[in-house]
Chain A
Amino acid sequence: MKASLFRIVQNIGLTAFCLIISASQASAERAGENAIDSADNNRQDGLYAKATILGAGRYWTIVPKNAIIHLPGNLANRILPSPKGKYLAFHAFLTRNSSWLHAYPVSLDYARGNKRMDKHRFDSLLRINKIVVITYRKNPISLHSNAHPLEDDTPSNQ
């Protein structure tokens, strides 16, 4: 059954997770209100602690820390220490800021580091004067270090 890639979610289970999310809709209202007083936005396991915050004008978004593969020096100010303005989902944020932000979509094999990126293509991304963010299904995703091309990579190695 290896061939059929029998992979099903366990330990959930899914049902439990769905129930939790369902319940969370109502609790989110309460939690959001409580968060004004109680949230610790600097805790290490918090959302902002494990993300890089990108901002421009009145909007901001988040990407995983290892999702940015290229940050030109002149765009370093797009990285915010904390959120400022209104949150936008990454894709909407990208649409508004495509002049300085570029998305490079990959498959999960690359994100997991199971495949290594083409050096020629990777290097070309590093030459553009935009912040380059790895994406999967229009959402930012971190890129495993194993997916970075080797220094002496040739096309046959990819």
Chain B
Amino acid sequence: MKTITSIFFASALALNAQTTDKYTQIIWQTEYLPDDSVAFEYPMTVPKNGVSPSLDPVTHKSVFVLYCINNENNHETEIATQTVSAYLPEASITLTSQDPYINPSDGSRRTRADQAYTATYTVSGLITNDPTVQAAARMVNFDSAITKLDALSLAIPSGSIPVSTHRLIEDNETKSSTHINQVSALETGLATFTISSLADFGATSSILGSPAKMYIFPTTSGSISNLDASRSYSSVPNIPLDIINAYPGSDNYLRVTRLSTNESFDINISNWNNSFDYSKHNTWTVMGDELDDHEAFNGDGQYLFEFITKTPFDEKVLDTKGPVILRSTIYIKAQLTSAEK
């Protein structure tokens, strides 16, 4: 970009200014530091052949003065003065949800389809007080795209067309926006936010900062099988648990409540590592053997069984069965019968 600017500038000078036998043109550049003190002064003689001096991009501000010297009497005349300043737009985007997890590999975040998340951007370095400067100095692009992902691989399916939005930011500001339900409850999606510069004088648009990514996971559903409410059991039957779209990092419990005392006991059935892996569909069968001594089942009575998933967003009851009457000691044994990611 630096080079392109220099070439452009030099070419423009080559086309438009040159020294003749009678007159010599000199471009005098005075570059200033941010404190407005002089960084350097640099005179360039515009040659007769029209190949004008190559100029470097301005780092802060330069004043270019074009002088003309009459070669016959050495009188100098100021022809034109132009101030050229540099601009350096900067931007950052932060995405936050109630899930504090941050993917260490790319900083991406995650949320659930029915949960809101916030996109906060900060833009600085734009020129806001001079509407005459070129657009690239006054505004940046703000783009977002929602792409549906393959639920298991989290890859973007070929041919997938993202839903994109675009707008221009024209202020140096920090602003937040809230987003929710960008994909359906059963879909997995990726929201990507980018802020980019506008193309300017042959320099192409480029992304400012890093794109911000939010993975959106579907809502979870689950069921308890093989338990009939109001039925009496002399022993605990096998209890298949079926869970679909478990949220990554979620804890999934079978909660047993002894209704006579209203005491509840959470039996941690499964949880996933705190990563982007999540379970699309898993089934467990809970049996009593290994819970023979569990305090939840130390007497006859009525019991309520709840299948619960716990995430940073909430604790949701996926399914409830009961009251179930247990007349004698209950045996519960957990055994994974199938697992699918």
Q: Which residues of A contact B (CB under 8 A)?
A: 1-2, 4-14, 16-22, 24-25, 27-29, 31-36, 39, 41, 45-48, 50-51, 60, 62-67, 82-84, 86-87, 89-90, 108, 111-113, 136-137, 139-144
- Complex Cα gap A56–B240 (Å): 102
- Complex Cα gap A33–B77 (Å): 10
Say whether B158 faces chain A, with CB atoms less than 8 Å apart: no
Q: How far is the CB of B52 from chain A (nearest CB, A)?
A: 9
Residue of A nearest to B195 (CB): A1
Produce 1/0 per residue, B1-30, CB < 8 A to A. Answer: 110010011001101111000111110100
Across-interface contacts of B79 in A (CB, < 8 A): 24, 27-28, 31
B201 touches A14 (CB 8 A): yes
B80 touches A6 (CB 8 A): no
Q: How far is the CB of B127 from chain A (nearest CB, A)?
A: 6
Q: Which residues of B contact A (CB under 8 A)?
A: 1-2, 5, 8-9, 12-13, 15-18, 22-26, 28, 31, 33, 38-45, 47, 53-54, 56-59, 64-71, 73-80, 82-91, 127, 130, 133-134, 136-137, 197, 200-201, 203, 206-209
Question: Would you list the 9 A-B pairs with minimal beta carbon distance, nearest first?
Answer: A89-B45, A22-B16, A64-B41, A10-B137, A18-B12, A35-B75, A83-B74, A35-B77, A111-B40
B40 touches A16 (CB 8 A): no
- Complex Cα gap A64–B31 (Å): 12
Residue among B33, B86, B136, B206 making CB contact with A1, cutoff 8 Å: B206
Across-interface contacts of B200 in A (CB, < 8 A): 8
Residue of A nearest to B74 (CB): A83
What are 25 contact pairs spanning A and B, CB under 8 A? A1-B208, A1-B209, A6-B1, A9-B58, A10-B86, A11-B83, A14-B9, A16-B82, A17-B64, A17-B82, A20-B66, A24-B79, A28-B25, A29-B23, A31-B77, A32-B70, A32-B75, A46-B76, A47-B76, A64-B40, A65-B41, A82-B74, A87-B74, A141-B40, A142-B42
Also in contact, A8 and B201, with CB within 8 A (given A24-B17, A32-B70): yes
B69 touches A87 (CB 8 A): yes
A21 touches B13 (CB 8 A): yes
Say whether chain B's binding surface is mostly helix, strand, loop, or mixed.
Answer: strand
Q: How far is the CB of B219 from chain A (nearest CB, A)?
A: 37
- Complex Cα gap A68–B46 (Å): 22
Residue among A9, A22, A27 making CB contact with B201, cutoff 8 Å: A9
Residue of A nearest to B59 (CB): A7
- Complex Cα gap A28–B68 (Å): 6
Residue of A nearest to B56 (CB): A108
- Complex Cα gap A45–B41 (Å): 13
Also in contact, A11 and B130, with CB within 8 A (given A18-B12, A47-B76, A137-B53): yes
Excluding A32-B22, A142-B42, 18 further A-B contacts by CB distance (< 8 Å) are A8-B200, A8-B203, A11-B137, A12-B82, A14-B12, A17-B80, A17-B84, A18-B16, A24-B16, A28-B23, A32-B69, A35-B73, A39-B77, A51-B43, A65-B41, A139-B42, A142-B40, A143-B40
Across-interface contacts of B26 in A (CB, < 8 A): 47, 62
Q: How far is the CB of B247 from chain A (nearest CB, A)?
A: 35
